[in-house]
Structure 1
Amino acid sequence: MGGGLAVGPCRPKELPQLRKLLNEVFITERNTEGDLFNFAPLLYNDANVENLRVVRDGRTIVGHAGICVRPIRWRGQVFQAGLIGGVCARKDLRGTGIGTLAMEDVAQRMTELGLDFGVLWTGSQGFYQRLGWRTAGGLCMMRILEAAEGGASGFEVMPLNESPFRPEDCHRLHEAAGRNEVIRTAQETRVQMGIPTRSAWIGLSGGHLAGYAVRAGETLQEIEGDAGVCAALIVRAASEGVRRCVFPLNDPRVAAIEGALPVCVERRSMGMLLIVNRASLTAKIAPETCATAADLGIGPLSSAEVLMARIFGQPEREPSEEPLPLDIHISYLDHV
């Protein structure tokens, strides 16, 4: 390395250079095809350059970590979360502290933005644990054991792009469900469903839209509708190579689908999380519970570890009427 490393926001004129680095790391090195900018349009765009944090060696970008800011509905409150993606260092410079620089800058940037917490997904947990991130939260990963027979489900399932419906129609169905999850616009839903590596099916009942499912690889990353239409969508997806489906933790639809289809459900952590602004987070939780932060065990004297466990919990937790841990769901679909 030359005259030392500097870290900060990506400049608009540097986007082509950042794109080249990310595609080398996440496409070429993994022997796959595509363009990471096209796979994550909500993260990589001109309007988000301040949140694309880059490490420079002189004028050369050698590392990166990006933040996609997402609002998350919980009861009557809205949390602000930073979903982290594209964390990398150039291949020949790994192990020199570039990733740490990028992630420390990301933490500072999330503080500047007033975010409540950060979320990321990784197979290299040790690196992030050293920086204060912890596995927490939960989701249900439904594994499809075999391609089930469809039977008389009462639903007609077809590809969205071969139907008279549009992503905006799916968006309205998603919003009507009112789950404790990421709030997105109709435009964002349209963009997400249009990503080249994704496809969507819809379920119709009497010609009316009753549900939909969005595929990324062998996984249904998002599925909407009641248990009956979800089962019909899973059967169709399984016939075309889908092997998994993601549901929020303790989703009541899961038990009904388990009873109807050959599936196996595993509870997994939602991801790795970092509490950014504990005062803001606890101030939003307390009014919804009619209890003080101290009564909830999330007062100012609580350690970071206790706070994380109390607010976000672990995947093995059972359904409860208690307000904590939070029953929020963050889908990887909303990461981009």
Structure 2
Amino acid sequence: ANQDTFMVLVPCGHIEEAKDQQWDELIARARAAVLQKLKEEVKLEDFEEHIKFEEIISPAIWKERFNLAKGSCFGLSHTFTQLGYLRPQNQHATFRNLFFTGCSTHPGSGLPNVLVSARLCVERILMQEAGYPTTDPLSSSSLLLVLLWTIFLLFLLQARYPLTYSGFHFLFTVPPALAMAVNLLKRSRSGTNKPHVDFLHEKLRRLRRRSRTATCLLCILSLTYTTPWDNYLVYKGIWTYPPGRVLFTIGYVPVEEYCFFVIQTIATSLWLLTAMERQMLQQSIRSSMLRAAQSSSRGASSAKDRALRMGGGLLLAALSCLSWMQFMSGSDKSKYLSL
């Protein structure tokens, strides 16, 4: 009773094996400097005489007791090469069942960031068990660079080997749509016996059924809506298709263009379905951890969603009216833009 606890945090560097760091000497110098500061600035002149118990933890002790790399108790420094996507991620790039959390992984050090790191780690684990890809962002960036380089090479080669419309589909539109379809099939078959994953499967099945119906309706809509004005624009000579680059035409438009309407709609629907499933899983994870906080803000979120939908609808209506007025003006220069 009637005792106080006093803690002093002294910034210091980490352990460097290449240097001869005399930690006993450094600790003694730091201790003397702290006592001098307390005497001069806080006016605690007899502070040292009242010390009954003292414990000093140095980087060497952090390393020995807690196996911290180089004795750094706050993890990796926030240097440019260790920030954002360049910081070690929450999942190992090769051993996909190995996950990380803490101050040395994404997003960074500090208590709030460490708690966010734990949440991200839980989300990745549950998403992987539910069949969702949890690719390392660095790997995704590498794949994007490879894709851009491939497109650049194809652009250089097309002068010597002209690219047909069907070849364009096989290179650029069919592969991503097929990859997303295969991924959806894999997720649909990834049933588990884990309650924290299976409780969402029925919701996901309903979402996928509605998505299939909506995709079919959108494909019909894209064909029936786009076919008239696309044929009209080709008829007016606003754009054309080289005869040697297409298989055959239906009306004024090649069959590959009709395929493009459908493939583009399917690919967009698959991408949107994947995004909605991931969002549903993330919301379920967060609601289980922050149920009380979410229940208090549900009304505000619903009102915000309604406002966003109404604003989007009004913007679409205004653009439609403007496009119709532009089309009725009779100018050939603005027909493509208005349609």
TM-score over 0.5 (shorter chain): no
Higher-Rg member (1/2): 2
Q: Which has the higher helix share?
A: 2
Task: Name the TM tier (shorter chain).
Answer: under 0.3
TM-score, L = length of structure 2: 0.25
Compute the TM-score of the two structures, normalised by the length of structure 1.
0.25
Q: Which has the higher strand share?
A: 1
